[in-house]
Every structure is written in structure tokens, then in C-alpha cells.
Structure 1
Amino acid sequence: MDTNEISFENLPKAVAHLVKEIAEIKLLIQNVQVYESKEKSIPIGIEQASRLIGKAKPTIYALVRQRKIPCYKYGKKLYFFEEELLEWISKGKKKTIQEIESEVLKYNDNQKK
């Protein structure tokens, strides 16, 4: 549809055209997001996992034995997913003194109620 043709009489046709175009754009964006999420879920080996989390391979093997790190085993090889390793790292966050103090204050307030 040509933008020069838009007038009050053909406004419904122009809106219908825009709705169709938006639906096509949404479909393209959804396809790109699905492709990107599939791309991110490629397993990595122990070498890449070691570099990603900054630990030596023997340390990673020890963490796997203790079941402290998310991993997958197929045959004799270990596999990891980058997202899971990054999430595992973020769960080990040490709280700051301010965070601990605010939790103590919240706890005390709740106990007083």
C-alpha cells in the first residue's frame, strides 16, 4: 500500500495493512528469538567450562564428584551449559554487610509485630 493513498475513505484498508505488517514483524522477531535461544544451549566441554568459571580442571572434576556443579555426562565425557554455569556462579554470591544488616532489621521488625 502506498502511503500517498491514505485518506479517510481508505483508512480501514490502511489499518488492516498495518496490522498485517505488524503480525509479520512479530513472527520474524519470534523466529529470531527461538534461533538465539537454541544457539545458546550448545553444550561446552570441560576446557571451556574451566575458562568460563576460572577454575582448574581437577577442581571442576571434584565439584562434579561432589554434585556441586551442574553437568551432564555422556559416555566418558562431561558436558556443561554456559547458562547453567553462570547461574550456578550467581547463586554463590556473598552478601555485603549492608545486605546482612538490612535483613537483620527486617527480621527484627517482623519479630516485633
Structure 2
Amino acid sequence: MATEQITFDTLPQAVAYLTEQMEQIREMVAALQPQTSSDKHRFIEIDEACKITRKAKPTIYTLARKGLIPAYKRGKKLYFYEDELLQWIESGRKQVQSMSLQEQVAEIVHGAKRKPKSGYNF
């Protein structure tokens, strides 16, 4: 098709051929370009970590020193991965467990500091 003379009658085939060639070029260019990761696996510093976790800098430093938060230290600076921080936040979610009435009473009684003089009436 590249060496033939294009006439009005062959115009639809020529446009289809050019469209196919253009699509192939787009695929080749996309394969050569570096992949931009849509995930949030990127290094951030402590200021941005404070914004993500909504905690103060001293709290972040304490959590990192105790090893409770995923952090990386180079020299005197702390670095974090954004996706690891978000995963750390999500992993701290407390699971809601349904307890029976007897389990709730037992937990209340166990948590009492001293037994009242009148006793427990349930």
C-alpha cells in the first residue's frame, strides 16, 4: 500500500492502512516509555508522613525509634514509603467482635476495681 498511487476510490483502504500503522507506532512508543507507577510506592519525608498519618513530628520520631512504624533512616533523616504508611494505618483497624451478654458481663466484672458492697445484680 505504501508504494501504490492513492486515488479517490482507494482512499478508504489507505485511511484504514494509516490507522493501523499509527496504532502500531503508538504501541511501540508506549512500550519504550518508562512505566509510570500508579501505586503510591514512593519515598516521602517526615513532613508528608505527618500529613498522611495526622500525627505530630515527635510522635512519628518516637514510633520510628520504637520500630512501630515502617521507616528508613539515612544519616539523620527519616524516610517513609507512602504505600507502607497507608498499609500501616489500615492494619491498625480494630475488628468489631460481637459478644454475647454473658461475655459482656464477664468483661465488666473483670474490669471492676473492687466489688461493690451490695454485690453484682444481673
TM-score of the pair, normalised by structure 1: 0.55
Q: Is 2:30 aligned against 1:28? A: yes
Structure 1 residues 42 and 17: alpha-carbon distance in aligned structure 2, compared to 1, 3 A threshold: same
Contact 2:42 2:83 (C-alpha < 8 Å) held by counterparts: no
Q: Residue in 1 aligned with 2:53?
A: 53
**What amino acid maps onto 1:96 in structure 2?**
V
**What amino acid maps onto 2:74 in structure 1?**
Y
Provide the aligned length of Structure 1 versus Structure 2: 92
Q: Residue in 1 aligned with 2:9?
A: none
Give the secondary structure class of the aligned counterpart of 1:69.
coil
Q: Residue in 2 aligned with 1:43?
A: 43
TM-score of the pair, normalised by structure 2: 0.51
Q: Please identify which structure carries the higher helix content.
A: 1
Name the Cα RMSD after superposition.
Answer: 3.8
Q: Residue in 1 aligned with 2:83?
A: 83
Identify unmatched segments of 5+ residues in structure 2: 3-16, 100-122
Larger Rg: 2
Q: Residue in 1 aligned with 2:104?
A: none
Percent of residue pairs bearing the same amino acid type: 40
